[in-house]
C-alpha cells in the first residue's frame, strides 16, 4: 500500500494556515534566510523576533505615570494662580499711578466745586419747596448762625439772569420756554454751579457763608448731581406750613411726588429738618 504524501504546494500551505487561524491556533513560523533557504532549527533562536508583552486593558497605569500627572497638575495650578495675582486690581494708588491709570483708561476723577475741606466755610441748605420765597428767606435767616453771611440762590432768578445775559444756556432755555418743554435733568444744577462759581470769585465769596437754595432740589436726580458736582448739602429744610397748605396747589401730583422723594432721600441720611415758626435755631 502506498504511503500518503502530504502536499507541500504553497496554496495548500496557505489554506492550512488560514484554517489554523480560524481554529485559534498559531501557524508555525519558519525562519528563512535572505536567499530563501530554510535555516536550521538551532538558528531560530538567533533570528526569530521575541514576542512582546502586551498589557491587558484591566491592568492599571504604572505609578510613574500617576506621579507625572500629579506634578503636571500642580504646575498648571501654580501658573494659573500667579497669572491671576498679576491681574488683581490695586486698592491704592500713588498720585502718579492714578494719573497714569486715568490716561490709560480714559477715566477722569470727578472734582467737586467745593470739596469737603471747605464744608465748614460754606454751608448749603436745600429748601425743596417754598410758597413765598422772600417770606421763607426772612424766616430762615433768623434761624441760621449769625457768624456767617447769607446768600440766597433761586432757580427762577437764575433762569431770568441767564436769558438776560445771553449766557451759554440761554439759547437752550429760549427754545424750551418757547415750546413749553420741561427743563432737562441737570440744567438747574448746571446753573447753580455756574452761579456759585461766580460767587466764589468775588470778595464776598472769600468769607464764611450760609447758602440757601430756594425751591431746589425738586428731584432726587438734581440732589445727587449737586452733591457730586458742587458740594455736600448740610440740611434739607422742610417748611411745614408751606407743605401742608400750598404744596398740592402750586405743584402737579408728579412734582409733589418728586419733592416728597427728595425729603425722603435726605431723611434716610439724617439731613432732613422740619421747620415752622416755633423753631428758633437750625441744627
Domain positions in the chain are 62-109, 118-275
Torsional sign, CA 186, 123, 281, 133: negative
Q: What angle do CA 244, 246, 252 make, to 5 degrees?
A: 110
pLDDT in tens, 28-55: 555 444 455 555 554 444 445 555 555 5
Beta bridge partners of 235: 125
Tell whether the model's pLDDT for residue 212 goes beyond 90. Answer: yes
Percentage of the chain lying above the pLDDT 90 cut: 54
Q: Tell me the Ramachandran region of residue 24: left when phi exceeds 0, alpha when psi lies from -120 to 50, beta otherwise.
A: left
CB 140 within 8 A of CB 222: no
**Bigger pLDDT: 115 or 49?**
115
Question: Average per-residue pLDDT in the chain?
Answer: 80
Mark out the alpha helices in the chain (DSSP H runs): 10-23, 44-47, 63-86, 95-105, 133-143, 155-165, 170-178, 187-200, 220-229, 240-245, 247-250, 253-267
Residues ≥6 apart with Cβ < 8 Å to 16: 27
pLDDT of residue 227: 95
Please tell me what DSSP assigns to residue 206: G
> For 5-19, what is the mean pLDDT?
65
Beta bridge partners of 213: 126, 153
C-alpha torsion 21→23→29→34, nearest 10: -30
Tell whether the model's pLDDT for residue 66 goes beyond 80. Answer: no
Could you tell me the three cell numbers for 245?
397748605
Domain covering 118-275 in this structure, CATH number? 3.40.50.300
> For 1-15, what is the mean pLDDT?
61
Residue 275's pLDDT band (cuts 50, 70, 90): very high
Buried b (16+ CB within 10 A) or exposed e, 18-43: eeeeeeeeeeeeeeeeeeeeeeeeee
Lowest mean pLDDT among 78-87, 113-122, 228-237, 251-260: 78-87
pLDDT in tens, 146-162: 889 999 999 999 999 99
Q: Which of 12-26, 39-53, 164-178 has the highest mean pLDDT?
A: 164-178
pLDDT of residue 71: 74
Percentage of the chain lying above the pLDDT 70 cut: 67
pLDDT of residue 273: 95
> For 82-97, what is the mean pLDDT?
54
Could you tell me the three cell numbers for 235?
440740611
The phi and psi torsions of 158 (rounded to 5 degrees) equal: -65, -40
Q: Tell me the Ramachandran region of residue 279: left when phi exceeds 0, alpha when psi lies from -120 to 50, beta otherwise.
A: beta
pLDDT in tens, 255-266: 999 999 999 999
Amino acid at each position: 500500500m502506498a504511503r500518503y504524501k502530504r502536499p507541500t504546494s504553497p496554496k495548500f500551505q496557505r489554506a492550512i494556515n488560514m484554517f489554523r487561524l480560524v481554529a485559534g491556533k498559531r501557524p508555525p513560523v519558519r525562519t528563512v534566510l535572505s536567499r530563501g533557504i530554510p535555516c536550521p532549527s538551532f538558528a531560530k533562536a538567533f533570528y526569530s523576533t521575541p514576542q512582546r508583552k502586551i498589557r491587558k486593558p484591566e491592568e492599571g497605569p504604572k505609578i510613574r505615570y500617576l506621579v507625572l500627572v500629579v506634578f503636571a497638575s500642580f504646575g498648571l495650578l501654580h501658573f494659573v494662580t500667579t497669572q491671576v495675582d498679576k491681574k488683581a486690581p490695586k486698592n491704592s494708588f500713588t498720585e502718579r499711578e492714578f494719573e497714569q491709570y486715568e490716561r490709560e483708561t480714559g477715566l477722569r476723577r470727578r472734582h467737586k466745586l467745593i470739596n469737603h475741606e471747605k464744608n465748614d466755610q460754606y454751608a448749603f441748605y436745600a429748601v425743596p419747596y417754598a410758597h413765598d420765597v422772600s417770606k421763607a428767606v426772612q424766616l430762615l435767616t433768623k434761624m441760621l448762625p449769625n457768624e456767617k453771611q447769607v446768600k440766597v440762590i433761586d432757580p427762577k432768578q437764575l433762569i431770568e439772569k441767564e436769558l438776560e445775559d445771553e449766557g451759554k444756556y440761554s439759547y437752550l432755555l429760549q427754545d424750551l420756554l418757547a415750546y413749553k418743554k420741561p427743563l432737562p435733568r441737570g440744567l438747574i444744577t448746571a446753573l447753580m454751579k455756574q452761579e456759585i462759581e461766580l460767587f466764589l470769585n468775588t470778595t464776598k465769596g472769600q468769607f464764611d457763608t450760609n447758602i440757601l437754595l430756594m425751591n431746589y432740589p425738586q428731584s432726587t436726580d438734581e440732589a445727587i448731581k449737586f452733591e457730586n458736582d458742587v458740594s455736600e448739602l448740610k440740611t434739607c429744610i422742610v417748611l411745614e406750613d408751606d407743605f401742608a397748605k400750598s404744596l398740592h396747589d402750586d405743584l402737579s401730583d408728579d412734582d409733589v411726588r418728586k419733592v416728597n422723594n427728595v425729603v425722603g432721600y435726605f431723611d434716610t441720611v439724617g439731613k432732613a429738618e422740619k421747620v415752622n415758626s416755633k423753631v428758633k435755631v437750625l441744627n
